């Protein structure tokens, strides 16, 4: 009889593979398609859903031996959690790499504020005098708005504390006194958009946050504000509304690490704008963060297989 296995829709850290291999044969699938995953369900008791891979209800219903699903990171919109819960299958997470996402948000923000891509080009193309024509901005003395004040939003608040700036946040689940402990003022979303020079998105993709940033909400922002999104691409209504806001000058810059469709259509007009800074859902994959994420997920999956409680689980009611 063949050994039970865990299949991975994309590669994970070698140490995590070793952890999972204590109990199972670990297999990397050749691509991230649902069809490929469907054809690999025999003897599969665990699935690692990574990258562009998805675990929809049809997979969960067909995987008769499935006992646990792992997601390396904090997001879980690629897994049908409702279907997993119906079958009492835990969905294990690893929300331990938020520090890297917060660092990336700061990096994107400062890169745009300081015009670094353009300044780099000026030097390399002999346009030294452009420094007299283009203002260089500041984080100091301005207002940063954090939309979503969970682990990552809170880490971002800590990172910007040394700057002399005002920080406001919107989160319906976090009380004002908890924000105040980090020097952050709790406001509603409309106030945040109207008063912030820089807005950074850190909400999960849920029914209530899908399409949260619409054309109407972009119009509520300060003219020339900078928008950073390192959360989930679907939090923004579409790339079209972002491109339109950039072209009109309503947005002064955008830094996106995530997109409504991944990978996005690289021919979209948004990507031709010099004030659009992008990364391929990448900034949270620092060496340290990736190791911690994968190993935490693997340990949690192993715990489920042993009949124990994992550290992080999106549907703990099934345990």
Do residues 34 and 13 make contact, with C-beta atoms less than 8 angstroms apart?
A: no
**Looking up tokens 């879980």, which residue turns up?**
76
Residue 281: active-site member: yes
Do residues 258 and 233 make contact, with C-beta atoms less than 8 angstroms apart?
A: yes
Which H/E stretch holds residue 300?
A: helix 287-305
Which one from 190, 208, 262, 308 is the annotated catalytic residue?
Answer: 262
Do residues 318 and 143 make contact, with C-beta atoms less than 8 angstroms apart?
A: no
Which one from 5, 232, 237, 292 is the annotated catalytic residue?
Answer: 232
Return the structure tokens found at 206.
């849920």
Residue 217: active-site member: no
Which one from 155, 202, 281, 292 is the annotated catalytic residue?
Answer: 281
Residue 82: active-site member: no
β-pairing verdict for 251-256 and 198-201: unpaired
Q: Alpha helix (H) ranges present in the chain?
A: 14-20, 34-38, 57-62, 81-86, 98-113, 116-124, 151-159, 176-180, 189-195, 215-220, 239-248, 287-305
**Residues labelled catalytic:** 232, 262, 281
């Amino acid at each position: 009889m063949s050994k039970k296995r865990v299949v991975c829709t994309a590669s994970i850290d070698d140490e995590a593979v070793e952890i999972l291999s204590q109990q199972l044969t670990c297999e990397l699938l050749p691509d991230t398609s649902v069809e490929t995953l469907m054809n690999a369900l025999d003897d599969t008791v665990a699935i690692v859903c990574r990258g562009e891979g998805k675990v929809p209800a049809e997979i969960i219903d067909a995987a008769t031996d499935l006992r646990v699903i792992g997601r390396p990171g904090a997001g879980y919109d690629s897994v049908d959690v409702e279907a997993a819960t119906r079958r009492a299958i835990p969905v294990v997470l690893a929300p331990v790499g938020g520090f890297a996402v917060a660092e990336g948000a700061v990096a994107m923000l400062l890169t745009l504020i300081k015009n670094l891509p353009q300044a780099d080009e000026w030097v390399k193309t002999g346009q030294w005098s452009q420094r007299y024509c283009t203002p260089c901005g500041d984080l100091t003395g301005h207002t940063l708005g954090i939309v979503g004040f969970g682990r990552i939003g809170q880490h971002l608040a800590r990172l910007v504390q040394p700057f002399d700036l005002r920080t406001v946040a919107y989160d319906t689940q976090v009380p004002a006194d908890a924000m105040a402990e980090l020097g952050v003022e709790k406001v509603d979303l409309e106030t945040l958009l109207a008063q912030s020079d820089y807005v950074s998105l850190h909400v999960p993709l849920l029914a209530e946050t899908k399409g949260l940033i619409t054309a109407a909400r972009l119009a509520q922002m300060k003219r020339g504000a900078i928008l950073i999104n390192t959360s989930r691409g679907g939090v923004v209504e579409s790339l079209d509304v972002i491109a339109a806001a950039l072209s009109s000058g309503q947005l002064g810059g955008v830094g996106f690490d995530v997109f409504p469709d991944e990978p996005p259509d690289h021919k979209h007009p948004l990507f031709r704008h010099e004030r659009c800074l992008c990364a391929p859902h990448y900034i949270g994959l620092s060496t340290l963060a990736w190791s911690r994420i994968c190993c935490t997920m693997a340990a949690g999956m192993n715990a489920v297989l042993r009949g124990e409680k994992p550290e992080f689980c999106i549907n703990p009611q099934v345990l």
